[in-house]
Each structure stands twice: as C-alpha cells, then as structure tokens.
Amino acid sequence: MTAETRDLLVQILYLVASVLFIFSLKWMNSPQSARRGVMAGVWAMVLGVGGTLANPAVAVSSLPWIALAVMVGGLIGFPLSKVPLTAVPQRTALSHAFGGLAAGLVGTAKYYLWLHEGGEMLTGFRVFAISAEVILGFLTFTGSLMAAGKLQEILPGRPITYRGQLVINFLTLGGAIACAVALIINPQLSFLFPVLIVLSLAFGVMLIVPIGGADMPTVIALLNSYAGLSAVAMGFVLDNRLLIIAGALDGSSGLILSIIMCKAMNRSFSNVLFGAFGSVQESGVEGEGKAVKSATPAEAAEMMEQADTVVIVPGYGMAVAQAQHRVRELYDQLTKRGIKVKFAIHPVAGRMPGHMNVLLAEADIPYDDLVEMEEINSDMAQVDVVLVLGANDVVNPAAKNNPKSPIHGMPIIEADRARTVLAVKRSMKPGFAGIDNELYTMDKTLMVFGDAKAVVGDMAKALAGDSGGH
Amino acid sequence: MNLMLAAAAAAQTSAANQYIPLIFVFVLATFIGLDVIRNVSRLLHTPLMSLTNAISAVVIVGAILVAGHEVDGGQPLWINILGLVAICAATINIVSGFLITNRMLKMFKTREPEKKP
C-alpha cells in the first residue's frame, strides 16, 4: 500500500467513526435505543484508534509501548466502571479529570516537539490552539479533581471563600492568557510555557473551591463541556477532523446540560461560577418558632395506604442514605394495593444531571413512573399524598412566594399543592442552601424524622405486615 | 527584503486559509451536537454524561500520534512519555466510560406487562 492510499484509508475510517459518534448520541434519545448508542460509540472508538495506528506517522517501534499504556489504562478503568451508582457523580468528575489531563499533556508534548524541530511549525494559529488546549485541559484536570474530592467528601463540600478571591481568580486566568498571547507573538519564549501550565492548573483549583455541593450538577456539566472543547483544540493543533467532531459533540452536550441545570435553578452561569460568595448567609428568621407536626413511619404508611395517588419526590438525601431499594419495596407495597405511585424528578435533584433516574432504575422501578417536574405540577392538586424523600430546596414554596428568598424564581415541584405532604428528614436543619422551608410548617405537612433508608424500610414493613392481616 | 516580507505574509494567509475548513467542521459539528443532545431523554442524562466522557477520550488519537512519533528525530524521550501517559489516561475513560454507561442503561426497564388480574 502506498502512503497515499494508506492516508486515504485513515481518512475514511475517521469519517465512519465521526458518523458513528453522532449516531451514538442520537440513539440516546430513548432508553430502547440507548444501548445501541453505546455500541456505536465503541465501534467509532475502535475505528478511530485503528485508523490512527494505521497512520504512517506512528512508528512501528512504539507499538509495544502504546499497547502497554492501553493495558495499564484498561486495568485502572475496569474497576472504575464497577463503582456503586451512588458514586457515579464522583466517578464522572474523575474521568473529566483524566480527559483534561490527556489533552493538556498532548498539547504540551506537541509544543515542545515543534519547538525542538526548529519552531517553523509553530504558527500563530497553532500556538493559539495549543494554548487553548493546554489551558482548558489542565484547568479541567485540577478542577475536576477538586469536584471529585468534594463529591467524595474528601474535601469539604461547603464553598471555601476568602477575601479578594474573585480578583485573584481573574488575575490567575489573566496571567495564563497573557502567557498564551506572548507565546503566539513569539513561540520561542519557551520559558513561558511552564508558567502557562502552572497558572492553568492553579486556576482549575481556584475555580471549583468556592462552589458548593448543590451546584455540582452544573459544574460537572460545565467541566464536561471544557473537556470536549480541549479535544476540539487538539483537533486544530493536529489538523484532525475526528477530534474536532467528537470534541464538538462532547462540548455541546456539556453546554446543553449546564444550561438545563442553570434554568432549573433560575441562575446564570456567572452566578453559579462566581456567586457562591455570601449566598449561604441567608438564614431563616421567619420560620422560627413555628411548630411542626410529626408522624411515625407506621402512621405515614397508613396515610399512604388510604390514598389513591402517591407522588414521591426523591432528592440527594435518598442517594446519601442509599435508600433506593427500600423505596422500591414501598413502591411494590403501594402498587399492589392499586395505588398509583409516581416519582417526581427535579432536574437538579442529586449531584449530577439525571442522578435520581439512575438510582431508581437501579432499584428496578420502571421508568414510565418517573415523571418530570413540569408534567407532575399540573396534576399536583389531585395528588393525595406527596412523600418528600431527602429533597429540600426543590420543593420549597419560597421559590414561588417569597421574592426575598435566595432561591426565588427557581422552578420547583409544587408539593405544597397536594392534599397531604409527608416529609422524611433527618432533623429540622435547613437544607444545603441554608434556607428555611415553609413546606415543613404547613398544616397539611407531617414530618417523619430519621434516616431515609430506615424510615422508608419501616413504612414498607408496616404495609407488608398489614397486608398479611387481611 | 521587501520581497521576503511579502512572501512571509503570503505564507501567513495561506496558513490561515488552511484552517478555515476545520472551523467549518467545528461549527457544523457543534450544531449537530446541540440538536442531537436536545433530543436526549432527561431520564438518561447521567448515562449521556458518561457516554460523552468516553467519546471525548477520542483524544487518545492525538496521544497515539505523539507517543508514536519516531524517536530518531532526536527529540527528548520525555515527549513520547507524555504521549504514553495521555494514552493511559484516555484509555481509563474509554474503558470505564463505555462499561458504566452500558451497565446503567441495562437498568432502565419499562413496567412489566400486567400478569394476572
């Protein structure tokens, strides 16, 4: 085979791989075709890697080393795919970190390679693309490591803030951009390149440190987008269309998810990224002194048994307590009695987009019964019992009624319109945002205190014991 | 001297033109991406994220090109080693990303058809 036909073959393989990547994402539009989507993605990757290995520029002598690196990566990657589903947010953040690292390293290697070859290849555009790749790659690397640390609770989940934080952040990013500009003007200023790397790494840390746990869904989506964009930049550096297309798909996916998350919290990007300061000071003065009514799990179970429709609103508390299998038992007991049970899923419930859906699917709850916020709200007045399970801000009526509330304007699941509200909670401590929830003090609300897993388990047991008697 | 400057300027323009098709590809792919992702079921946003995670590990292509660069060129060896580390990082994402996406998707089931009344 001549080098020319080989090159043509590589391009054709890349083309097929690009098409398969697009189909892979397209098939994610429904759960029926989604697994086909995964297969399309796998094939696209195989063709992309195969095409690259067929590239004459890859030295045959390097193949054993490449195989070794792939094996090591596979050995680390395999156990990472076996984590419990409650740990999926931190696993996702961790893999964004690996993606960013890979992009940053390739950009660095390319710069020094071309510099070594005399620097003729380092055109202004290429240095621009390399700088974008390195800044995005390394900031995604450290930023995602921080996010993973917060989600795994190795690092404190609360926002870490200090005086002048915003100024320091902007100076760091500004410094990195200044290095990039200087390198574009004169690529031979190689002493600036390590400075660029260090500033990008530092900016990633500083960007995520002030962001709190409840904003993680947006942040993870945004980091997803950055990882994609760094792949695009790499595509420009290497003149590689497959990288550009796959990176653009990834980048737009992250962008759309973060827009959905922002809308679901009625916040802007800049507010999520830079607005953590002081947002926690709001603390309820008004809710104090109001009495709450409480019920035992058995009493609560009895109320659900009397209902025709029950809506369960899961939140991060369900994930923390790993209560999803108990929820399934409760669901079985209720549906057995002919009671209609639906799950109302708020887009930002949990720590990443779609978090609740995956946990409930793991517990074998059919996805027909998982309903989106907009859909359930129109029927809420006809619902007999709403069971709020470890959710807080997403059912807080203050978002609608109280213009002074920090979450005012955020779309919520309107649990307060149902006939009866049962709220499972550890204690009366306010939720993550530190805001009082007037839902808990309403006349139709009964609090069931305790760990979500234990409480729901008791409810299911009460119903099971009951049905034995009939 | 003037002639050389002109030649350099011409080279610069053609270098810029060379990237225009790539920018087209980027813009069009972004539009396709936005459109396709908008239609993804909200149920599947977590698997979507792990899938795009695996897809963005396509940077392994760049990593292979760097790691596989002929060492005879006399470039320092650590440049190739950076490529190998990048291959390793990307493979972690490919393997764990596709496997966990598949594992999650297997769990999504519809209601079983009603058995006996």
Q: How many domains does chain A have?
A: 3
Once rounded to an integer, what is the mean pLDDT over residues A309-318? 92
Q: What is the pLDDT of residues A124-164, one digit of tens each?
A: 999 999 999 999 999 999 999 999 999 888 888 778 888 88
pLDDT at A6 over 90: no
Which pLDDT does position B109 carry in this prediction? 84
**Domain final residue pick, A229, A248, A277:** A277
What DSSP character marks residue B14?
Answer: H
Owner of token pair 């574009």 = A184
Contacts of A240 in chain B (CB under 8 A): 61-62
- The answer on A93 and A6 residing in a single domain is no
- pLDDT higher than threshold 70 for residue B85: yes
Which CATH number belongs to the domain containing residue A431 in this structure? Answer: 3.40.50.1220
- B7 interface with A at CB cutoff 8 Å: no
Q: Which residues in chain B are contacts of A92 at CB distance < 8 A?
A: 46, 49-50, 53
| Dihedral sign (CA A127, A130, A135, A136) | positive
Starting at the earlier edge strand, list the strands of the sheet with A385-389. Answer: A370-372, A340-345, A309-314, A385-389, A420-425, A445-449
Per-residue confidence (pLDDT) for residue B51, from 0 to 100: 96
What residues of A are in contact with residue B15 (Cβ under 8 Å)?
A: 123, 125
Note the pLDDT of residue A79.
95
Interface contact flag, B22 A28, Cβ < 8 Å? no
Chain A partners within 8 Å of B94 (Cβ): 45, 73, 77
Give domain status of residue A145, yes or no. yes
User: Considering CB atoms only, which of B43, B46, B56 is closest to A250?
Assistant: B56
Say if B10 is an interface residue toward chain A (CB within 8 Å): no
Are A335 and A233 in a shared domain?
no
Quick: pLDDT tens for A207-219.
Answer: 988 887 778 888 8
Among B36, B39, B59, the strongest candidate for a mutation testing the A interface, having the largest count of A CBs within 10 A, is B59
Catalytic residue among A393, A416, A436, A458: A393
Closest-approach residue (CA) in chain B for A259: B38
Q: How far is A64 from chain B (nearest CA, A)?
A: 10
Q: Which residues of B are less than 8 Å from A359 in CB distance?
A: none
Identify whether residues A132 and A35 lie together within a single domain. Answer: no
B79 touches chain A (CB under 8 A): yes
Least Cα separation, residue A230 to chain B (angstroms): 9
- Helices (DSSP H) in chain B: which residue ranges? 2-38, 45-56, 60-67, 77-107
Cβ-based contacts under 8 A for chains A and B: 374
**Model confidence band, residue A435 (pLDDT cutoffs 50, 70, 90):** low
Distance from CA of A345 to the nearest CA of B (A): 9
The interface residues of chain B toward chain A in range 88-117, judged by CB-CB distance below 8 A, are 88-112
Taking the CA of residue B73 and the nearest CA in chain A, the distance in Å comes to 8
> Do A194 and A270 share a domain, yes or no?
yes
Range in A43-47, A347-351, A435-439, B64-68 the model is least confident about: A435-439
Give tens-digit pLDDT for A179-204: 999 999 999 999 999 999 999 999 99
Q: What is the nearest CA distance from A87 to chain B, expressed in angstroms?
A: 12
The ranges assigned to domains in chain B are 1-39, 43-108
Q: Is A250 a catalytic residue?
A: no
**Closest chain B residue to the Cα of A26, Cα to Cα:** B36
Q: Is A323 a residue whose pLDDT tops 70?
A: yes
- On whether any CB of chain A is under 8 Å from the CB of B75, the answer is yes
Residue A434 maps to a domain: yes
Residues 11-70 of B with CB under 8 A from A: 12, 15-16, 19, 22, 25-26, 29-30, 32-34, 36-70
Full residue range of the structural domain in which residue A441 is found? 297-469
Average pLDDT on A372-381 reads: 90
User: Looking at the partner chain, which of A53, A354, A372 has a beta carbon nearest the beta carbon of B46?
Assistant: A354
Question: For residues B13 and A119, what is the distance between their CA atoms, to the nearest angstrom?
Answer: 18
Cβ count near B42 (within 10 Å): 16
pLDDT digits (tens, 9 = 90+) for B8-37: 555 555 566 778 999 999 999 999 999 999
- Chain B neighbors of A88, CB-CB under 8 A: 46, 50, 100, 104
Long-range contacts of A85-88 (CB under 8 A, 24+ apart): A85/A358, A85/A359, A85/A362, A85/B104, A86/A319, A86/A320, A86/A322, A86/A359, A87/A152, A88/A352, A88/A355, A88/A358, A88/B46, A88/B50, A88/B100, A88/B104
Q: Which residues partner with A420 through β-bridges?
A: A385
Residues A49 and A99 placed together within one structural domain of the fold: no
Cβ pair A52:B65 closer than 8 A: yes
At residue A470 the predicted structure's pLDDT band, cuts being 50, 70 and 90, is: very low
Residue A80 · residue A91 · CB < 8 Å: yes
* Residues on chain B touching A113 (C-beta within 8 angstroms): 66, 69, 75, 79
- Give the separation between CA A325 and CA A335, rounded to whole angstroms: 15
Question: Could you tell me if A155 and A21 lie in one domain?
Answer: no
Determine whether the interchain pair A57/B41 forms a contact, defined as Cβ–Cβ distance below 8 Å: no
A302 and A222 within one domain: no
CA of B51: which chain A residue's CA is closest? A38
Which DSSP state fits B59? G
Q: According to the model, what pLDDT value does residue A287 have?
A: 45
- Asked if A125 and B71 come within 8 Å (Cβ–Cβ), the reply is no
Phi, psi of B29, deg, nearest 5: -65, -35
User: Residue A388 — pLDDT band, cuts 50, 70, 90?
Assistant: very high
Give the pLDDT score at A429: 65
Per-residue pLDDT averaged across B42-71, rounded?
A: 93
Would you say residue A72 lies in a domain? no
Distance CA B85, CA A66 (A): 10
Residue A264 has which token pair? 């679901």
Q: ipTM above 0.85?
A: yes
Q: Check whether residue A102 and residue A239 sit in a common domain.
A: yes
